Amino acid sequence: MSPRRVAAFIAICYLVLGLVWIRFSDQILLAFAADSNLLTELQTFKGWAYVILTAGILYWLSKSALERERNLSERDSLTRLLNRHMFGRELASEIEFADDNDQSLVLVVLNIDGFKQLNSTAGSDVGDRFLQSVASLLRDHFKQRVLLSRFGADEFAIAMPVTAWPDQVLPQVQHLQQLIQTISIPELPGSALSACFGLARFPTDAKTSEALIDCALTALEEAKSMGSNRLRVYKTEYGEHASKRTKLLFDLKAAIANKKLSVVYQPQFRLDDHSISGVEVLARWHHPEKGLIPPDIFIPLAEKHGLICEITDFIMQTAISELLQAELLYRPIPRVSFNVSAADFNTNQSSQRFLHNLAKLPEDDWSVVELELTETSALLNLEGVKNVLQVLRERGVQVSLDDFGTGYSSLSTLRLLPIQELKIDQSFVRDIASNAHDARLVKTILAMAKALQLRVVAEGVESQQQARYLAKEGCQEVQGYLYAKPMSLQALQSFASNIKASAAQR
């Protein structure tokens, strides 16, 4: 409520009370006092009563209005936690108290992974309810005296006094990390969000509230740079890391703008005859000073800062042009696979982007193209993914579920999306020759895929033992260093020719 409305409300209350008092008070006195002297005396008391009563009412109305305004200025309106400004003031007081009593204090800052995706997919109302659930979880989780704040859109802070580091803090924070993943999202059944955490300590890392917040945020950025659901305790070198990431982001934007990225191709093979069944297209970035930057560094950076769609467009257009020009596509390369992100399906123009990227293909047959998406990203933007895939499926584009078994609800994804292929994650393939649990898991996935008539590609095959086990259990296709590493277009041309020649000799 604005100050004008607050003032108007108080004035109206005072006016109504005055009118009622004037209208009825004299009638009430006349009914009880017929004597004029007594009536005069009662009129005096009536005046004093009016002054006292109105003063009390004005005090109550003003106090309520001022408390409401203070709460609005101190607390986040959605979660009722302290806002960042008031948290900073309260944290400064806590630090002063801890310093006077030789105590320690820990500041925890957390950021929800994939919250922007949730907002864009399910809507801001769903996002608001999720944030309120996080706030309730924080209140319930910490039993000791703590400061709780909502820093920003999906960022929260907790400040707590500690007597034993790390035993008193880390188990609580790690448990909280697990609990956040249990918050249900009814609008996206089967999905869950995680959070990254950054921790900093007083007086070890900083001596003031502002410096402590900066240290915790730096640790948070370090955690987020490592992926989802990570936790980092502040170290001085993290500041240097953040500076390097900022520089790397600047260079990545320039590389994308100037088309300095490149593509390589990793062949996939049929296990029965070792012929090429397809290629997966992978992005590469050769930095002019740092050399080859691994994709697991620059791809998450691009996703975090909204650059991934530009990379996807570049990779698809470049690979299609190169493979068509080299006369490799369709034969001898019957399938080309592209990794796509949930962000690639976020906008109303997503379908048109994909259609534009594949426009050089013959209009009557796009079945040579396959899009690989992870189940986690698919569930975060299910409606957007379904709408785009519906358009592309009409042109014959195939869909592969990447990293199968590592997400939240694999079977749900299979039911909801038009999947033709599963890719068994290399983390399961790595130890199938020595780990009975992984072997049984891979066997189960293969049996399920067979029942659902889905093609299966096993990633990360690096030994003959792995290949023999996969062949024995009915896996149709494999991909890995045992057969071929990612290679340039020229190397792929030679490789495909050699495969063709070997097949002809057999």
pLDDT tens readout for residues 280-304 = 999 999 999 999 999 988 998 898 8
The neighbouring-strand residues paired with 156 are 110, 150
The three-state secondary structure class of 38 is helix
Contact by Cβ (8 Å): 406, 444: no
Please give the DSSP secondary-structure letter assigned to residue 188.
S
Most confident of 51-65, 193-207, 431-445: 193-207
User: What are φ and ψ of residue 34, in 5° steps?
Assistant: -85, -30
Q: What is the pLDDT of residue 132?
A: 95
CB atoms within 10 A of CB 290: 12
The pTM of this model reads 0.70
How far is the CA of 366 from the CAs of 260, 296, 331, 337, 338, in angstroms?
Answer: 27, 29, 14, 12, 13
| CATH fold for domain 255-505 | TIM Barrel (3.20.20)
The three-state secondary structure class of 35 is coil
Average pLDDT over residues 327-352: 90
Average pLDDT over residues 225-232: 89
CA distance 21 to 71: 34
Residue 417 clears pLDDT 70, i.e. is over it: yes
Per-residue pLDDT band for 2 (boundaries 50, 70, 90) equals low
pLDDT single digits (tens) 118-170: 887 778 899 999 999 999 999 999 877 899 999 888 999 999 999 888 888 99
Pairing mode, if any, of strands 455-458 and 421-424? Answer: parallel
pLDDT single digits (tens) 442-484: 999 999 899 989 999 999 999 999 999 999 999 999 999 999 9
Mean pLDDT lowest for which of 34-38, 340-344, 394-398? 34-38
Mean pLDDT lowest for which of 41-45, 349-353, 381-385, 434-438? 41-45
User: What are φ and ψ of residue 208, in 5° steps?
Assistant: -125, 160
Q: What is the pLDDT of residue 44?
A: 65
Residue 100 clears pLDDT 70, i.e. is over it: yes
Please give the DSSP secondary-structure letter assigned to residue 333.
B
Rg (CA), the chain: 33
Take residue 499 and report the two structure tokens written for it.
Answer: 């495969």
Per-residue pLDDT band for 404 (boundaries 50, 70, 90) equals confident
Q: What is the pLDDT of residue 495?
A: 95
User: What are φ and ψ of residue 147, in 5° steps?
Assistant: -100, 130
Per-residue pLDDT band for 9 (boundaries 50, 70, 90) equals confident
Pairing mode, if any, of strands 477-478 and 155-162? Answer: unpaired
Three-state secondary structure along 135-178? HHHHHHHCCCCCEEEECCCCEEEEEEEECCCCCCCHHHHHHHHH
The structural domains of the chain, with segments of one domain joined by +, span 3-74, 84-235, 255-505
CB atoms within 10 A of CB 57: 14
More confident residue, 157 or 50: 157
Per-residue pLDDT band for 499 (boundaries 50, 70, 90) equals confident
Give the chain's largest Cα–Cα span. Answer: 131
Take residue 360 and report the two structure tokens written for it.
Answer: 């050089």
What value does the mean pLDDT of the chain take?
Answer: 87
How far is the CA of 112 from the CAs of 118, 120, 177, in angstroms?
Answer: 10, 14, 10
Residue 29 clears pLDDT 70, i.e. is over it: no
- Write the CB contacts of 2 (distance below 8 Å, at least 6 apart in sequence): none
Take residue 456 and report the two structure tokens written for it.
Answer: 């299966």
Contact by Cβ (8 Å): 331, 321: no
Residue owning tokens 């690639």 = 344
pLDDT single digits (tens) 51-71: 677 777 777 766 665 555 555
> Which ranges of 347-476 does DSSP label H, i.e. alpha helix?
350-357, 375-380, 382-393, 410-416, 426-429, 436-451, 464-472
Give strand ranges (E) for 175-275.
195-202, 231-233, 261-270
The three-state secondary structure class of 302 is helix
Q: Under CATH, which architecture does the 84-235 domain have?
A: 2-Layer Sandwich (3.30)
Residue 46 clears pLDDT 70, i.e. is over it: no
CA distance 345 to 9: 49
Helix 308-325 vs helix 350-357: angle between axes, to the nearest 10 degrees? Answer: 20
